[in-house]
Amino acid sequence: MPLPMGHTAIGLATYELSTNNNSKTNSLKLIIFLTILANLPDFDVIFGLLIKWNGNAFHRGPTHSLIFALIMGFLASRAWKLSSQIPRIKFGVCFLIILSHVIADFFFTSSPVSFFWPIEVSWSSGYSGWGDVLSSVFFQGFQDAGIIIGSAISIILIRLIKGHQQTLFGFKIRQKPLTK
């Protein structure tokens, strides 16, 4: 079951895969921003905890949908206008990172997501209080070890492939300058 660390790892791998420039995910601001994007759909747990004292109350509803990824991806790609601290990332990349969360939940867990909300909605069932949520965030990350290792290997492979793309048959290919 992907927890924040697992989602973050998948989000970072998605970023590597979806950006065509050779920018590396080594700036702290970028990693923080990508971590927030990769975990954005699970902010519904916080609302459940605050309003109903149950993290599952509003979990896996509208935030786990294609429409949410499109809207929040758009807003995230414009967020740099609010503060110079926020990295500027293209809409498509933001969208894919948020979508990677929903897809990971779909494939790695048994409970459904609300992919086509508002046509379908699959709320999470059961109860999870503050203690359950906090302990799963901080102490159960090891459950995602397979996902984290898989993502790390993907990132290394993607970087290797990108490195190779700059030289083709021994000729250096000029990289496209970053568009402003």
Given the rule CB under 5 A, which residues bind Zn ion?
41-42, 105
- Is the CB of 127 or the CB of 157 nearer to Zn ion? 127
Nearest-angstrom CA–CA distance, 98 and 36: 9
- Is the CB of 41 or the CB of 48 nearer to Zn ion? 41
Least distance in Å: CB of 99 to Zn ion?
12
Nearest-angstrom CA–CA distance, 165 and 143: 35
Least distance in Å: CB of 86 to Zn ion?
23
- Is the CB of 15 or the CB of 60 nearer to Zn ion? 60
In Å, what is the CA distance from 51 to each residue of 12, 47, 71, 129, 152? Answer: 31, 6, 24, 12, 36
Please give the backbone phi and psi of residue 166, each rounded to the nearest 5 degrees, phi first.
-75, -20
- Is the CB of 16 or the CB of 105 nearer to Zn ion? 105
Least distance in Å: CB of 138 to Zn ion?
17
Q: Does the bond joining 2 to the residue before it have cis omega, within 30 degrees of 0?
A: no
Least distance in Å: CB of 97 to Zn ion?
13
